[in-house]
Amino acid sequence: MRRFLRHGPAAIVTAAAALLVGCEAMENSDVASQRLLHGHAFHGQGDYVELSSATVARPFNRAAISTSDALENFLWDHSVRALIVSRGDDIVLEAYTADHDETTLWNTHGISTTMIASAVGTAIKEGKIQSPDEYISLHLPTYGGSGLTWRHLLTMTPNLKYRETPFSPVSQTARLFTDDDFSDLIEQPEFTENQPGEEFQYSSLTAQVMAEGLEAVYDAPIERIITNEVWFPMRSELSALWSISEEDRQARAGYGLYMSSRDMWRLGRFLATDIKHQVDPEFLAEMQGPAAGKGRFFKRAESRLLSEDWGYGFGTWFVKFPLNGKLVAGYGSIGFGGQTVLNVPQYDMTIAIMAQVPPKGGRAVFFQSILEYALNQEG
């Protein structure tokens, strides 16, 4: 669903011309169910738009801690294929398994949702959107009378009738991830009996609505918006690839953005530092959550599927876990295949993870193990 006029040809690239996309990050299969079951996997076919790298990349120094066989075995056992840990901008640890390296491109899944949320914050700062409480229908008339605001989309609390089921090849989620045309899901929305704001439900459909709302705001494709408002400001090193639908060339907002592990770390540093130049302080606090005295963690009564150790803000996840005997709060972005960008302000630490599946024992336990290892190795 493209409501704007393109200014010049899109940079479309095919899988054959793609940058290095490795092993689990590349799989020669055109079967949609396999693509979903291996959610990080690049299926080897389809169309993509390119997000060009920044002119000058954020520096990336050599890791202070050398990797060991024990660490690599630990990462392998947790299906982690790339790991970067830093204190501020100083790289403490960088490790890869299964022949992956810093040039491998990974499907970051829902991490693109955080980037879209950041661009909403920029649009608000620029006055293109008046506030998070502005109705989305001002830009997407299809949603007239729904009561949906940007805040509902940012916090994943709209009342859209949709369930996130990425492992089912016949679901709405599969359509968003694989169909050549999924525009009807946006143009013919269905709603639940709940009111907007009543229930949290993470949704790739919500991410898609948010992206297409931004396209209407900027009169530009979402890939150009993200390139200008996030990809360049975070000072990326390599180009990224974003899966698009064949019919209307629409980027898949909550899926299919492929980037390197180092650029995912750069996204984490952007969220920790440079984003303050892109969004207002109030918006940034909503993204940082409890670490900035805003937001909240989930309550057990809300859902049996939600942990009290987690919460959600403006396009970001919050998590709390013990670190060297102290309870810390982190914020960042999560992809369902195990991809993670996390900032822990109390230690000025950023962690970037590319994984095949979420780690054994849960993400929070893995965060604790890796960050304590890095801190203890530093001495």
Q: Within 10 A of 300 (CB to CB), how many other CB atoms are there?
A: 9
CB 27 within 8 A of CB 38: yes
Provide the token pair at 2: 């493209």
Average pLDDT estimate for 49-68: 96
Point out which residues pair with 82 in neighbouring strands. Answer: 96, 354
CA distances 263 to 26, 53, 185, 354, Å, are 18, 10, 31, 11
Average pLDDT estimate for 47-61: 96
pLDDT at res. 44: 58
Reply yes or no on whether the pLDDT at 284 is more than 90. Answer: yes
Burial class (CB in 10 A: 0-12, 13-18, 19+), 299: exposed
pLDDT at res. 227: 98
Chain position carrying tokens 């994943």 = 156
What's the pLDDT band for 290 if we cut at 50, 70, 90?
very high
Point out which residues pair with 310 in neighbouring strands. Answer: 319
Summarize pLDDT for 183-240 with one digit per residue, the tens.
Answer: 999 999 999 999 999 999 999 999 999 999 999 999 999 999 999 999 999 999 999 9
pLDDT at res. 360: 84
Reply yes or no on whether the pLDDT at 6 is more than 60. Answer: no
CB 328 within 8 A of CB 321: yes
Reply yes or no on whether the pLDDT at 80 is more than 50. Answer: yes
What's the pLDDT band for 24 if we cut at 50, 70, 90?
very low
Provide the token pair at 63: 């890791």
Task: Mark 358-372 as b/e (b = at least 16 C-beta within 10 Å).
Answer: bbeeebbebbbebbe
CB 337 within 8 A of CB 40: yes
pLDDT at res. 40: 58
Residue boundaries of the structural domains of the chain: 12-54+68-378
Q: Name the strands in the sheet holding 310-312, side by side, starting at the edge strand that comes first in the sequence.
A: 90-96, 80-87, 349-355, 340-344, 326-334, 317-323, 310-312
Average pLDDT estimate for 122-129: 99
* Strand duo 317-323 + 326-334: pairing: antiparallel
Strands (E), 106-246: 106-107, 240-244
CB 181 within 8 A of CB 220: no
pLDDT at res. 167: 74
Reply yes or no on whether the pLDDT at 21 is more than 90. Answer: no
Summarize pLDDT for 348-375 with one digit per residue, the tens.
Answer: 999 999 998 888 889 999 999 999 999 9
CB 108 within 8 A of CB 259: yes
Q: Which residues contact 115 (CB under 8 A, 6 or more apart)?
A: 226, 230, 231, 257, 267, 333
Summarize pLDDT for 131-149 with one digit per residue, the tens.
Answer: 999 999 999 999 999 999 9
What's the pLDDT band for 153 if we cut at 50, 70, 90?
very high
CB 156 within 8 A of CB 110: no
Q: Which fold has domain 12-54+68-378?
A: Beta-lactamase (3.40.710)
Reply yes or no on whether the pLDDT at 326 is more than 90. Answer: yes
CB 40 within 8 A of CB 25: yes
Query: Nearest to residue 294, comparing CAs of 269, 275, 278, 311?
Result: 311
CB 311 within 8 A of CB 295: yes
How distant is the alpha carbon of residue 329 from its chain centre? Answer: 19
Query: Nearest to residue 79, comparing CAs of 316, 377, 363?
Result: 363
Reply yes or no on whether the pLDDT at 37 is more than 50. Answer: no
Chain position carrying tokens 């970037």 = 352
Is the C-alpha dihedral spanning 31, 35, 36, 38 positive or negative?
positive
What's the pLDDT band for 27 if we cut at 50, 70, 90?
very low
Instruction: Report how far residue 347's alpha carbon sits from residue 280's, in angstroms, rounded to the nearest whole number.
Output: 24
Burial class (CB in 10 A: 0-12, 13-18, 19+), 326: exposed
Instruction: Give the percent of the chain with pLDDT over 70.
Output: 87
123: helix, coil or strand?
A: helix
Task: Mark 65-103 as b/e (b = at least 16 C-beta within 10 Å).
Answer: beeeeebbebbeebbbbbbbbbeebebbbbbbbbebebe
pLDDT at res. 300: 74
